[in-house]
Amino acid sequence: MTPFWLTVAALVAPAVPAEAPSLDAWRGSWAGEGQAFGKPATATLEIAAGEGGATELAYSLSIAGAPSVSYSAKADYAFDAKGRLRGKWSDSHGRTRPVSGGVEGATWWTTWGSADVEIGRSTYVLENGETLTVSDSILQPDGSWRVFAMLRYRRTKG
């Protein structure tokens, strides 16, 4: 029989802390192809360690057609003490948007923007560490999400 004090000690012992969330698995250089706004598109992602444990992302998108479209953005992400992802996204059109999100398994998601302009969602699904599928959506008035871009990336470095 287990002594009473040992049972109590086991019940009040501090839990093993959960591993802190991280974007390390997504870090590297990526090149992708897919669709953006219904047209063929190519893009690159550079995801790297930033200051103080943050993650930095640099994004460049080219959309084929007439006229062709080029778009770029930079983002900074960091996890707070509760494991929530926070950051900001600044793009080549001069817009800066707040970002929140998280990680679960091989999926990293962000929600960005604000209700007075637009609210968007991006998901980054890592497959086998070498393939990344990124989907970008906009919140519609009826509460549904409309996908406006989906690209599949291959890791080129890192």
Q: pLDDT of 57-109, one tens digit each?
A: 999 999 998 888 999 999 999 999 999 999 999 999 999 999 999 999 999 99
CB 26 within 8 A of CB 43: no
> How many other CB atoms are there within 10 angstroms of residue 153's CB atom?
22
* CATH architecture for the domain at 24-157: Beta Barrel (2.40)
Q: Is pLDDT at 116 greater than 90 in this prediction? A: no
Whether the per-residue pLDDT at 6 is higher than 70: the answer is no
pLDDT classification of 115: cutoffs 50, 70, 90: confident
For 100, what's the count of Cα atoms within 13 Å in the CB-facing half-sphere?
7
The DSSP line for 84-127 is -EEEEEEETTS-EEEEEEEEETTEEEEEEEETTTEEEEEEEEEE
Strand pairing partners for 101? 85, 110
Terminal CA-to-CA distance of the chain, rounded, Å? 54
pLDDT attached to residue 18 = 59
C-alpha 32/C-alpha 47 separation (Å) is 14
What b/e readout covers 3-14, taking b as 16+ CB neighbours within 10 angstroms?
eeeeeeeeeeee
pLDDT per position as a tens digit, 127-136: 998 999 999 9
CA distance 127 to 142: 32
